[in-house]
């Protein structure tokens, strides 16, 4: 099958996933309400800590609110990827899916991309309106927008590889959910969800800089509020490195897991 046919096939999967995501408007509404509450609370908190016109380690209250808007928009765009893959493995459904004319991992990646595109876009739109109402529009430049978009895509790729790798642990352990819980807490902390990693102690800052979690939330948000090309180069390099490493791990897990199915007669 040539590349164009493959592209059309997986694009159709992504489009279907995006349309399906739009159908769950009640869930999106609830998340948007929760999102608005978080931004309101932290906006008031930072206003009290640094004052309306002050700054914290070089960040103004406006920058911190917009930073949190982006990191929360990304985090709240979570999909059911781990649950779906884990269920496919546990139920044995994956054995039947492997017989279909679709690469299982590419199918999941396309489905994930479609859902994430819709969820992230809607969250950014809703969060942007709330942040604008709270602290006004930041200084938006073409470099900052370009950098944030590129890092957002790279971060989504890193996130997919991490989540799929966690889910495929179901081939080898009874439950993969505990590993997902650990992942989610690491994104909260070393991913710089609530505050920029710049505010962390030196050791944790250096640790976070080499781990994949900062690529998911911190990198895109930090680029948006700064537009610094040197930082962008560092963020992009780390994200690409982790994409390659995690994709290799994902491939290894999948091939070993499929062999296990075949050995067991699945």
Chain-centre distance for alpha carbon 259: 30
Residue 152 · residue 220 · CB < 8 Å: yes
Give the CA distances from residue 109 to residues 85, 158, 174, 188, in Å, rounded to whole numbers and listed in that order.
11, 11, 24, 23
Helices 81-91 and 142-167 pack at an angle, to 10 degrees, of: 20
Q: pLDDT at residue 44 above 70?
A: yes
Residue 195 · residue 50 · CB < 8 Å: no
Q: What is the pLDDT of residues 212-237, one digit of tens each?
A: 999 999 999 999 988 888 889 999 99
Give the CA distances from residue 237 to residues 120, 129, 147, 182, 246, in Å, rounded to whole numbers and listed in that order.
23, 32, 13, 25, 14
pLDDT of residue 160: 94
Q: pLDDT at residue 142 above 60?
A: yes
Q: Is 56 helix (H, G, I), strand (E, B) or coil?
A: strand
User: Would the CA dihedral through 180, 99, 20, 108 be positive or negative?
Assistant: positive
Residue 123 · residue 76 · CB < 8 Å: yes
Domain count, the chain: 1
The answer to which of 51-55, 202-206, 221-225 has the lowest mean pLDDT is 51-55
Range of the domain at 154: 3-263
CA distance 162 to 122: 23
At 266, the pLDDT band (50, 70, 90 cuts) reads very low
The top-scoring range by mean pLDDT among 68-72, 102-106, 238-242 is 238-242
Beta strands in 44-116 (DSSP E): 55-56, 59-60
At 40, the pLDDT band (50, 70, 90 cuts) reads confident
Q: What is the pLDDT of residues 61-72, one digit of tens each?
A: 888 889 989 998
pLDDT of residue 25: 63
């Amino acid at each position: 099958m040539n590349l164009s046919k493959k592209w059309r096939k997986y694009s159709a999967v992504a489009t279907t996933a995006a349309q399906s995501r739009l159908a769950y408007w009640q869930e999106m509404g609830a998340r948007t309400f929760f999102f608005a509450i978080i931004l309101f609370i932290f906006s008031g908190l930072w206003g009290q800590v640094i004052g309306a016109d002050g700054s914290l380690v070089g960040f103004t209250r406006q920058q911190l609110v917009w930073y949190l808007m982006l990191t929360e928009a990304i985090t709240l765009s979570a999909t059911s990827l781990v649950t779906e893959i884990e269920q496919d493995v546990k139920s044995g459904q994956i054995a039947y899916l492997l017989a279909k004319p679709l690469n299982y991992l590419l199918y999941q990646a396309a489905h994930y991309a479609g859902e994430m595109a819709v969820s992230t876009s809607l969250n950014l739109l809703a969060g942007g309106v709330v942040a604008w109402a709270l602290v006004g529009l930041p200084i938006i430049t073409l470099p900052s927008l370009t950098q944030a978009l590129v890092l957002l895509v790279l971060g989504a790729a890193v996130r997919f590889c991490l989540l799929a790798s966690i889910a495929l642990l179901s081939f080898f352990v009874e439950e993969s959910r505990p590993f997902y819980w650990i992942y989610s807490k690491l994104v909260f902390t070393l991913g710089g969800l609530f505050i920029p990693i710049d505010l962390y102690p030196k050791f944790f800052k250096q640790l976070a800089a080499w781990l994949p979690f900062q690529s998911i939330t911190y990198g895109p948000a930090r680029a948006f509020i700064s537009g610094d090309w040197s930082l962008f180069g560092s963020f992009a390099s780390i994200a690409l490195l982790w994409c390659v490493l995690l994709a290799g791990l994902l491939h290894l897990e999948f091939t070993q897991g499929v062999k296990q199915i075949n050995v067991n007669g699945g």
